[in-house]
Amino acid sequence: MSTTQKFAVIGGGSWATAIAKMLCVNLPEIAWYMRNTYAIEHIKINKHNPNYLSSVEFDTNKLKLTNDINEAVAYADYVIFAIPSAFLSGELEKLTVSLEGKVIFSAIKGIVPETSLIVGEHFHKTYGIPYDNIGVITGPCHAEEVALERLSYLTIACGDDEKAKVMAQNLSSHYIKTKTSDDIIGTEYAAMLKNIYAIAAGIAHGLGYGDNFQALLMSNAIREMKKYIKKVHKMKRNINDSAYLGDLLVTGYSIFSRNRMFGNMIGKGYTVKSAQMEMSMVAEGYYATNSAHKLNEEYKAKTPIIDAVYDILYEGKEPKKVFKKLTDKLD
């Protein structure tokens, strides 16, 4: 598909690499910002990201690589942020060019810790970006399977359906199918919450709970997610749609899930710090757990799974004892 719109990807991790790969199928050029100058030079010479999804080979003629976020943002009409939420504010502080008129899409699954807002709300309230210029890219989809060109599905949410369609069309290919949604807030909260539930699934596995219990855990998790999101943003939505339930399941069960991996290590006896040091990638659910727990002090949704994960990660409680109590609260 041809388009007159220009696109930029902000981030150097696995999701940023996957999104760059998807866009390069349809676009003659994209801007790609990453902090790591070594990675930029490596891609220029060797045509792949040395740190993430190294099997993906790029046509470097299609890449406008830069370590200057201002250059990337100035170039683009559509700017896709794909960096861990914990680092978003730090990157945005480098901006000297205006975001006015830009269409901002978030592929970030987390809450901005400095404002306790999901990314779309952060751009709206902090930078004055209208919701019609804010969108979300969500799954169910793992970057690793995009690299392998396995059939994957994306949900593109935006208040302006035409902009959602532009993004969806430019991410689509023979192995990427897309659908659009107008539930910007709900899909983004779901993308954040599913990482917490994936940590819970990992902890359960690490403690020795089997598939039977984990099926029950995921069943309770989708109902808990529904209650939470309904408190935050009440609108008509089907929680069984792939953007909610599908994304939860793939993150809770997949071998590619870094949040499940992180939880598994905690269940096996790692401390939070040692598990973080062992992993080469950020587990967004760790930060999301604290933010979701704090937000729920206001919303007061019934969230025994989130509470259990919070008690383990932030209160230092024994995972075995916490999960023993949790089993009595689930049905």
- pLDDT above 90 as % of the chain: 85
258 is in an annotated binding site: yes
Kindly state whether residues 144 and 45 are assigned to the same domain.
Answer: yes
Mean pLDDT over 163-184 rounds to: 96
State pLDDT tens for residues 43-91.
999 999 999 999 999 999 999 999 999 999 999 999 999 998 889 999 9
Domain membership flag for residue 117: yes
Kindly state whether residues 174 and 218 are assigned to the same domain.
Answer: no
Domain membership flag for residue 92: yes
Q: For residue 32, report the phi and psi dihedrals to the nearest 5 degrees.
A: -140, 115
H or E segment and range at residue 135: strand 134-138
Decide if pLDDT at 236 tops 90: no
323 is in an annotated binding site: no
Please give the mean pLDDT across all residues of the chain: 94
Give the Å distances, CA to CA, from 189 to 31, 140, 196, 291. 28, 14, 11, 11
109 is in an annotated binding site: yes
- pLDDT-derived band of residue 279, with 50, 70 and 90 as boundaries? confident
AA letter at 137: I
123 is in an annotated binding site: no
Kindly state whether residues 259 and 165 are assigned to the same domain.
Answer: no
pTM beyond 0.75: yes
The number of domains in the chain is 2
Kindly state whether residues 156 and 219 are assigned to the same domain.
Answer: no
pLDDT value of position 1? 41
Mean pLDDT over 265-275 rounds to: 94
Decide if pLDDT at 233 tops 90: no
State pLDDT tens for residues 15-54.
999 999 999 999 999 999 999 999 999 999 999 999 999 9
49 is in an annotated binding site: no
Q: Does residue 143 contact residue 154 with C-beta atoms inside 8 Å? A: no
- pLDDT-derived band of residue 109, with 50, 70 and 90 as boundaries? confident
Decide if pLDDT at 4 tops 90: no
CATH number, domain of 198, equals 1.10.1040.10
pLDDT value of position 282? 74
Kindly state whether residues 164 and 28 are assigned to the same domain.
Answer: yes
Give the Å distances, CA to CA, from 82 to 15, 20, 54, 104, 314. 6, 10, 17, 11, 26
Decide if pLDDT at 3 tops 80: no
Gap between the Cα atoms of 23 and 20, Å rounded:
5
- pLDDT-derived band of residue 129, with 50, 70 and 90 as boundaries? very high
Give catalytic residues, as residue numbers.
Answer: 194
Q: Does residue 86 contact residue 51 with C-beta atoms inside 8 Å? A: no
Domain membership flag for residue 278: yes
Gap between the Cα atoms of 309 and 206, Å rounded:
13
Mean pLDDT over 317-322 rounds to: 98
Kindly state whether residues 88 and 159 are assigned to the same domain.
Answer: yes
Q: Which domain holds residue 292?
A: 186-327
